[in-house]
Structure 1
């Protein structure tokens, strides 16, 4: 695995151009490659992605429902502003759903899911030996959550949590330079991943809750 982890969805079966555009633009918005409030030029994005404008426009419509972009008549489409006040609302829901996903993953993950989770845990353990910057660490964080949601086996839960995690990650990336240690936040995932792989459902749920609470406390401490 490279320094900047590839979002797990990209390893799935072949996808449509609209889905490809959606995932690519979404992750640019999450990681703030497209800055909050920045105008979005669908023609430029289509050129960068090597696809037509139609799939890009379809992707932008979906991203508007994800609260990642906003469109104004006669003005165009813009990346949404990162609203720090949303942290409490997002965290309130995640404190309920993240432990549920971790528990379900520990109970019902497939053998393939468990292998992927175990491999990611070992990869994270080795991060200290590599020069991974904060941005790269955040990509690992995204991968951990997306793999857990996938392993939980409930597509509705997965979809909801991905959207919430995306919003939380934008907040995290906004204050990334003020956070003293992202590595410690990412390292917390090792115990969680191991608990899921080994089927320790109660422990996995508790660790997931602790991780979300730690995230919120860290963000509030730097604001």
Structure 2
């Protein structure tokens, strides 16, 4: 599973240290590798990630904007809690924007991007029915969504959807042990990616909506 990265392909070496630190911390928070409520120590994180304290501090400021960390005067900075009451609000926004991103990707993706979408679809289709670590599967989910957002060719839409998908993924990760099967949620992406690659905007839009709706239903079923 580790051969398939959590993030869409990116030239990490070309990123600024602050951007690289931000992306690494963001994904650790999303996957609950930094647990909700855990203290955020910039010095410790800088040592763990191999960055200076300044870029880590800059990353933490951005993570506050993403609602992934929160700072309290005289108390410090902490990973935000996962609030299940936000599920309806987050899903409402995603049900509007995810179909838009899928529709745009179907009509605007480059030939190279369409091939990348098909390659990812093929990898997911061949995951097989064998056991797989649920958190590894969720990394597939992050990768697919971010790839579609990038293919939509609208950076503002991409930024907004990444933020809400991050919040949704934290909720999902908190209930992973209670959800009967994560693999079905992941394999739903195959037809979606194929529709986008084929340029079928209407089918892609509908499949994106169904995917977001099924996510909310799955989480609610175990709450």
Please say whether Structure 1 and Structure 2 have the same fold, judged by a TM-score greater than 0.5: yes
Q: TM-score, normalised by structure 2?
A: 0.97
Alignment of structure 1 residues 44-123 onto 2, 5 Å: 44-123=44-123
Write 1 or 2 for the structure with the bigger share of helix.
1
C-alpha distance in 2, partners of 1:219/1:142?
Answer: 17
Q: Kindly tell me the number of residue pairs found equivalent between the two proteins.
A: 223
Deviation at 1:5, TM superposition (A): 2.7
Q: Distance in 1 between matches of 2:39 and 2:67?
A: 15
RMSD (Å), alpha carbons: 1.4
1:172 aligns with 172
Find the aligned partners of 1:54 and 1:13 in 2 and give their Cα distance: 18
- Structure 1 residues 130, 111: closer, same or farther in 2, change over 3 A? farther
Question: In 2, Cα distance between the equivalents of 1:140 and 1:130?
Answer: 16
Query: How many angstroms does 1:12 deviate by?
Result: 6.4
1:23 maps to 23
Q: Which 5+ residue runs of structure 1 have no aligned equivalent?
A: none
Contact 1:3–1:136, Cα closer than 8 Å, also in 2: no
Query: Shift of the alpha carbon at 1:3?
Result: 5.2
Alignment of 1:121-200 (within 5 A): 121-128=121-128, 131-200=131-200
Is this contact kept in 1: 2:22–2:56, CA < 8 A? yes
2:47 aligned with 1:43: no
Return the alpha-carbon distance in structure 2 between the equivalents of residues 21 and 3 of structure 1: 21
Tell whether 2:210 aligns with 1:218: no
